[in-house]
Amino acid sequence: MITSIWKSIRSGQIDPVYLIIGTESYFIEKTLDLLKSSLTQAGELELSFFDMDEVPVDHAIDEADTIPFFSDRKLIIAKNASFLKAAERGKEKINHDMKVLEAWLENPPSSSVTVFVAPYEKLDERKKVVKLMKQHAVVVEAKSLQANDLESWLAHEAKSFGKEISRNAVRKLVEMAGTNLTLLSSEVEKMSLYLGADGEITEELVEQMTARTLEQDAFKMLQAYLDGNISTALSVYYDLLRQKEEPVALAALLASQIRFMVHVYYLQKKGYHAQQISKQLKAHPYRVKLLVEKRQQISEQRLLEVLGDLADIDLQLKTVSGNRERVLEFFLMKRGAKNS
């Protein structure tokens, strides 16, 4: 659905009112960028921003009703449209006149394009203004992608640059770069430009060109550690030390990832499926999916043992006066020795 809306915007078919719902910043920003780009083609862009947590909605409506001076149509972006979600008692900062907005939605001016951004999981469907907004505005769903949708989306991104991407390459890319769509899109574009006219984005190319993050390096080190692959675990650890990462911070990051794994497997044992787990833990579904697929490779008991070991390491790192790098290094080596 969102791709058809983007296609219409690119072709210059732009409606007077848009409503963007959801927390996925990539879809929000891309929709706004496409509107700016398309409206700029017709001449100078008159752009106004309003934060609905700071000013009444009347300000955005008044601006939309004002005839543009330098262009055929102006763009008004009203972000944080919190009046569309369920009210949180005592937290309302601004008194918005919903009657004025409801009347305006019935006949918005064609000389402006007004975008209401509601970066929330859901709106209060009982409200009259929400019903009218959905009736008169183009609704853009900016929701986080589900696990399978993420793979399809990456394949579509690669195809937009004239490239194919293997499933193993998709998994490796998410493993290395995370689930941030803006970052993933940037990585796909970079690899596509590197390949030129021909070629496929392979797992090897992803490993070669993808920028690594601290969290992903820590996860790689943890996975190698749990698998008993001491050489890989130490290699990643030494790389992180060369990047001036502190052992105490790395130990805390490893413990955090272990706790996340324990929570995932506990909920799975309770009968939760991956989508329910991701919602319960407020984690991306694809991250949960990858862990669920590896469930049989490690026991919950072993994870708890490692978590206990890391608690001891954390205490040593915070009390030792000597070479702290050695503390975490010995921890990795001893575990590797146990698995050999």
Average pLDDT over residues 237-254: 91
Counts of helices then strands in the chain (DSSP H, E): 16, 7
CATH fold group of domain 1-139: Rossmann fold (3.40.50)
Burial 300-310 (b: 16+ CB within 10 A, else e): eeebeebeebb
Average pLDDT over residues 221-240: 89
Which DSSP letter does residue 50 get?
E
Q: Where are the beta strands (DSSP E) in 57-178?
A: 74-79, 112-118, 138-141, 164-165
- What are the boundaries of each domain within the chain? 1-139, 145-207, 212-331
Q: How far apart are CA 179 and CA 154, in angstroms?
A: 11
**145-207 against 212-331: fold identical:** no
3-state helix, strand, coil in the chain (%, to 5): 60, 10, 30
Average pLDDT over residues 206-229: 85
Does the domain spanning 212-331 belong to CATH 1.25.40.10? Answer: no
pLDDT of residue 62: 95
- The torsion angles phi and psi of 268, rounded to 5 degrees, stand at -65, -40
- CATH (one of 1.10.357.10, 1.10.3720.10, 1.10.8.60, 3.40.190.10) for 145-207: 1.10.8.60
Q: For residue 337, is pLDDT > 50? A: no
Q: For residue 223, is pLDDT > 90? A: no
Q: For residue 196, is pLDDT > 90? A: no
- The torsion angles phi and psi of 248, rounded to 5 degrees, stand at -65, -35
pLDDT of residue 86: 86
pLDDT digits (tens, 9 = 90+) for 77-123: 999 999 999 877 666 778 888 999 999 999 999 999 999 999 998 99
pLDDT digits (tens, 9 = 90+) for 304-323: 888 999 999 999 888 877 78
pLDDT of residue 118: 95
pLDDT of residue 339: 47
pLDDT digits (tens, 9 = 90+) for 128-158: 999 999 999 999 999 888 777 888 899 989 9
Distances (CA, A) of 101 to 54, 76, 106, 273: 17, 14, 9, 41
pLDDT of residue 335: 60
pLDDT digits (tens, 9 = 90+) for 264-317: 888 988 888 887 888 888 887 778 887 887 776 778 888 888 899 999 999 988
For β-strands 112-118 and 74-79, DSSP reports them as parallel
